[in-house]
Chains A and B, each alone.
Chain A
């Protein structure tokens, strides 16, 4: 074959090779940026507390800084899986027991609002997210400044305000109290696949029954009510401590993936 023909062949081969490879369909790294929606509401108690008190809320206000969805598994589930894994395998390094490891963040939003848990469901839309499997959530609760607290009954500098009536065996106590503490509710179960189509939606319910589940309102019997007949819970009392533990309790926050519309 002559040189000229080889040159022609090389031209064709070169062009073919280049164009073929250049035309191959693109592959991506997978995943996508997207957004999710979330709704947040208070779930009022459906029965008496573990201390036997029936609590009826009149006000439940919560100052929320941010919400975040993470890849990391909730503490309890991670522990259980570790035990199962260790039972059937050799000792491989795993997450240190007892510590929640949030892992990568898949979605988060700055709420920066005082939410009325006795009011209508609060809708949070267009929360920045990336696709992936969410396993846990973190709620950051911070004291409201004056601007955030304006227009609500929550006093500036406080995070939580509750007011209601507790009744047990004929005894009735009207109470109210506020907490000025900061809370990081980390590792709450929040399982669900965040899809790329932007329709993923979670419902967050704050179980107000658990907030005061350990409160013994009988300890308020000796406290004189205010002019309006409501007892202002003492700062060092058992009821306030119970509320602190209740608000800190990750089980009081249930994050549920809502079914995709049309399914």
Chain B
């Protein structure tokens, strides 16, 4: 796509939104009332009421093909997911001008359990969502910005929460087979008569991958049980997951252009990884008089291993491939309650505690035989995060809602660092401990005007905890602090909703990916960054069975010290999802339903080092299925136009020839994006 066509697309999106907003408004009220009359109930944790909170029901858009549960995040405005290192490794998340890497700037939780890994050697806040079975994700809630006091560590750009439930009760068995020998089988048992939150689900999958060194396997199980016990609603969740993947790594652009390396070819075939997650959550929700609340405990065991090589032999003639490992046992408590104080005033508050016992390592290994020759990280980290928060919700006037809250986090780290980096050499540094406190005020105002319109203003201060291995003895743990402000105009009607917003976000200690070290680092002298952005989104349900979801987010991210752009961040992320799902008739008394969906993603240029930009990308997915009685057959097409696109793009120095004389001047590298794939599905819903 040319830059000219991108510019035209930008204006087309502007125009589309400008047209969509009033169109949605025209159909507003009646539908909302209809929705309320259907008795839609809130499942899982109650909504926070945060002005930037958005709730999405992924199952109503299930006709749009997706790779897995992480891809559901693309339904939220501004989310772009990159899968640059194999199917099984956590995605790289881009949102609101942030390159959140594998989760450093987005706080994730699934079924009530936090997902982000604390001090993972591969990246702070590493969040692997591949363990989630997409068929049981009932609701996706995204709070953009750090405006809600419940948001804690990693909620720099946003928080995303997946609530699990199955509305189509009974037994679902589905098989899938497609190009590159990709197979998937999923079974869901949702006992009739039990609540929607009760189910058992399992998933098996494997693929040879769309090119050399891209095979993957996965197995996941999730079981959740919920029932009423007097004034309590009790929920228990168990999950287990293991996945492994191969990765083709990067392609050196000059080598590709000279025909030395193919677009999908791997230079180091020994890249890949393994990830496992096993966890349990138990939750009690209660109502006592006018007070509502919940208390939740969770336990998680994580295993992670990644082997990657971005630089070939540039750092050492023996080979630069590194192996990173991380294992953790994490457990915690999360409690919150809401109590009316006056007819117009509510108090909301809670407590959070988390403890992580982790072991991590990083070492370089020889290219040929994978024997380790240099150990760079060998550390145990015990991390504790204890938080208290409270918020006052006031509605002094019928058209005015005010919120003001404060969250305090105390983080403590105990580090047994057996090897620590010290300049260009490795020196033992021994045991250290560090502690820090972060206070984050939040405030927002919502002005209601007309019948379906609101104007939201919000401010919040959030934080990201430091990578523990970088801390010194007794150091006051240097949090990355984010200040963010937002103004949004929203329309919320029955058959549609729309909003347009602008935001300003400042991070005092940002992290940027360094391909050479395979880690996220602060840039000395330019740690602070600022993002300015605008977002527009609309949801329409113009006719029964048809849902349209459109969003566009534009952001500029720059370093405060230099005014230069933060690299790797997409300027524009636009997404359109259209899904139709409806019974279209009967054949001999047997109901026949048609389901069809299209999803399109436009990822604008990304700023790259040396004033370069990546090419914009347009990707289109489509799917359709027919359901006759209890049997459903369908097809899912990903990247319909088989666009040859570059997923991850970097500029750095590498050497893949293992011979002297090769250029070390930084050049473009990329990871190949997913080509056209077709998958056929057969399912039975009993």
Binding site for B on A (CB under 8 A): 1, 3, 6-8, 10-11, 13-15, 17-22, 24, 26-33, 65-66, 68, 93-96, 99, 101, 104-110, 112, 128-131, 140, 142
B549-588 interface bits toward A, Cβ cutoff 8 Å, 1 = contact, 0 = none: 0001010101000111111000000000000000000000
Is there a chain A Cβ closer than 8 Å to B45's Cβ? no
Q: How far is the CA of A1 from the CA of B21 in the complex (A)?
A: 18
- Residue in B453, B564, B653 whose beta carbon sits within 8 Å of that of A6 in the complex: B453
Contact between chains at A14 and B449 (CB < 8 Å): no
State whether the Cβ of B106 lies closer than 8 Å to any Cβ in chain A: no
Cβ distance B45 to chain A, nearest Cβ, rounded Å: 31
Cβ contacts under 8 Å, A68 to chain B: 664
Contact A22-B10, Cβ < 8 Å, known A11-B18, A14-B17: yes
> In the bound complex, what is the Cα–Cα distance between A128 and B653 (angstroms)?
13
Q: A107 near B558 (CB under 8 angstroms)?
A: no
Contacts of A6 in B (CB 8 A): 449-450, 453
Complex Cα–Cα for A13 and B18 (A): 9
Q: How far is the CB of A197 from chain B (nearest CB, A)?
A: 13
- Chain A residues near B39 (CB-CB < 8 A): none
Q: In this assembly, does B398 line the interface, its C-beta being within 8 Å of a C-beta of chain A? A: no
Interface residues of B in 605-634 (CB under 8 A from A): 607-612
Assess the A108–B664 pair: CB atoms within 8 A: yes
Q: Which residues from chain B contact A99 at a C-beta distance below 8 Å?
A: 424-425
B37 interface contact, C-beta 8 A = no
A32 and B611 form a contact (CB under 8 A): yes
B287 in the interface, Cβ–Cβ < 8 Å?
A: no
In the complex, how many angstroms separate the beta carbon of A179 from the nearest chain B beta carbon? 17
Interface string of B659-674 (1 = CB under 8 A from A): 0110111100000000
Within the assembled complex, what's the spacing in Å between the Cα atoms of A31 and B523? Answer: 15
Determine the distance from Cα of A96 to Cα of B423 in the docked complex, in whole angstroms.
6
- Select which of B25, B424, B556, B663 is within 8 A of A95 by beta carbon: B424
B661's partner among A11, A95, A140 (CB-CB below 8 A) is A140
The stretch among B400-408, B436-444, B529-537 that forms the contact with chain A is: B529-537
Chain B, 404-433, contact with A by CB distance < 8 Å: what is the 0/1 string?
000000000000000001111100000000
Q: Is the CB of A21 within 8 A of B502?
A: yes
Query: Are A14's CB and B661's CB within 8 A?
Result: no
Given known A-B contacts A17-B534, A18-B500, A22-B10, A27 and B18 have beta carbons under 8 A apart: no
Assess A18 versus B536: contact at CB under 8 Å? Given A28-B564, A99-B425, A105-B653: yes
Are A128 and B564 within 8 A (Cβ)?
no
Given contacts A18-B536, A22-B10, A29-B608, whether A65 and B661 have CB atoms under 8 Å apart is: yes
B interface vs A, CB < 8 Å? 10-11, 13-14, 17-18, 21-22, 25, 421-425, 449-451, 453, 489, 491, 500, 502, 532-534, 536, 552, 554, 556, 558, 562-567, 607-612, 653, 660-661, 663-666
Tell me the nearest residue of chain A to B452, going by C-beta.
A3
Q: Choose from A8, A20, A27, A129 the contact partner of B563 (Cβ within 8 Å).
A: A27
A to B CB contacts below 8 Å, 28 in the list: A6-B453, A10-B25, A10-B453, A11-B21, A13-B489, A14-B21, A14-B536, A21-B532, A21-B534, A26-B565, A27-B564, A27-B607, A29-B564, A29-B612, A30-B564, A30-B611, A31-B610, A32-B611, A65-B660, A65-B661, A66-B660, A94-B423, A95-B424, A105-B663, A110-B661, A112-B661, A128-B663, A131-B610
**Whole-angstrom distance between the alpha carbons of A222 and B661 in the complex?**
41
Q: Known contacts A96-B425, A105-B653, A105-B665: does B564 contact A21 (CB below 8 Å)?
A: no
B489 touches A22 (CB 8 A): no
- A29 pairs with B502, CB closer than 8 A: no
Residues of B within 8 A of A65 (CB): 660-661
Interface contacts beyond A11-B18, A65-B660: sample of 4 additional A-B pairs, CB < 8 Å, sorted by A: A21-B554, A27-B564, A28-B607, A30-B564
Residues of A within 8 A of B453 (CB): 6, 10
Chain B residues with CB under 8 Å of A30's CB are 562, 564-565, 610-611
Are A107 and B665 closer than 8 Å at their CB atoms? yes
- Please determine whether B25 and A7 come into contact, CB atoms closer than 8 angstroms: yes
Cα(A29)–Cα(B607), bound, Å? 6
**Chain A residues near B14 (CB-CB < 8 A):** 15, 18-19, 22
Q: List residues of chain B with CB within 8 A of the CB of A18.
A: 13-14, 17-18, 500, 534, 536, 552, 554
User: Could you tell me the distance between the alpha carbons of A95 and B422 in the complex, rounded to whole angstroms?
Assistant: 7
Q: A93 contacts B423, CB within 8 Å?
A: yes
A108 touches B532 (CB 8 A): no
- Is there contact, CB below 8 Å, between A15 and B18? yes
Q: With a CB–CB cut-off of 8 A, which chain B residues contact A8?
A: 22
Which chain A residue lies CB-closest to B562?
A: A30
Complexed CA–CA distance, A7 and B500 (Å) = 13
The reply to whether A27 and B565 form a contact with Cβ atoms under 8 Å apart is: yes
Rounded to whole Å, the gap between the CB of B333 and the closest CB of chain A is: 38
**Given contact pairs A99-B424, A105-B666, A10 touches B17 in the complex (Cβ within 8 A):** no
Residues of chain A lying within 8 A (CB to CB) of residue B21:
7, 10-11, 14
Q: Nearest Cβ distance between residue A241 and chain B, in whole angstroms? A: 24
Q: Which residues in A have their C-beta under 8 angstroms from that of B449?
A: 1, 6
User: Within the complex, which residue of A24, A112, A128, A142 is in contact with B665, where a contact is CB–CB below 8 Å?
Assistant: A128
Q: Are B610 and A32 in contact (CB under 8 A)?
A: yes
Task: Judge whether A66 and B661 touch: CB under 8 Å.
Answer: yes
Contacts known (A65-B660, A66-B660); A3 close to B25, Cβ less than 8 A: yes
Bound form: Cα–Cα A32–B552 in Å: 30
Known: A10-B491, A15-B14. A3 touches B663 (CB 8 A): no
How far apart sit A88 and B527, CA to CA, in the bound complex (Å)? 24
A110 touches B663 (CB 8 A): yes
Taken together as a complex, chains A and B put the C-alpha atoms of A10 and B22 apart, in Å, by 8
Q: Could you tell me if B500 and A108 are in contact, using CB atoms closer than 8 angstroms?
A: no
| Alpha-carbon separation in the docked complex, A238 to B69 (Å) | 73
CB A94 to nearest CB in B, in angstroms, measures 5
Distance of A9 from chain B, by nearest CB (Å): 9
Q: Across the interface, name the chain A residue whose C-beta is closest to B566.
A: A29
A180 CB, nearest partner CB in chain B, Å: 16
**Considering the complex of A and B, which 7 residue pairs feature the smallest CB-CB distances, nearest first?**
A105-B664, A96-B425, A28-B611, A30-B564, A21-B534, A93-B422, A6-B450
| A14 x B663 contact (CB < 8 A) | no
**Residues in B neighbouring A13, C-beta threshold 8 A:** 489, 500
Q: Which residues of A contact B450 (CB under 8 A)?
A: 1, 3, 6
In Å, the complex CA distance between A30 and B92 comes to 24
CB distance from B470 to the nearest CB of A (A): 11
Q: Which residues of A have CB within 8 Å of B558?
A: 27
Q: Which residues of chain A are near B567, meaning CB under 8 Å?
A: 29
In the bound complex, residues from chain B placing their C-beta under 8 Å from that of A3 are 25, 450-451
Residue among B22, B533, B566, B611 with max Cβ neighbours from chain A (10 Å): B611
When chains A and B are docked, how far (Å) is the Cα of A109 from the Cα of B653?
Answer: 14
Q: Report the nearest B residue to A128, measured CB to CB.
A: B665
Docked CA distance A110–B655 (Å): 14
Q: Which of A1, A93, A108, A131 has the most CB of B within 10 A?
A: A93
Q: How far is the CA of A180 from the CA of B609 in the complex (A)?
A: 41
A25 to chain B minimum Cβ distance, whole angstroms, is 9
In the complex, what residues of B have CB within 8 A of residue A29's CB?
564-567, 607-612
Q: Are A108 and B663 in contact (CB under 8 A)?
A: yes
**Cβ-defined partner of A11 (8 Å) among B10, B22, B421, B607:** B22
A169 CA to B556 CA in the complex, in Å?
74
B565 surroundings in chain A (CB, below 8 A): 26-30
Q: How long is the Cα–Cα vector from A112 to B662 in the complex, in angstroms?
A: 11
How far does the alpha carbon of A62 sit from the alpha carbon of B22 in the complex, in Å?
76
Residues of B with C-beta under 8 A to A112? 661
**Most chain B C-beta atoms within 10 Å of own C-beta, residue among A1, A22, A107:** A22
Residues of A within 8 A of B489 (CB): 10, 13-14
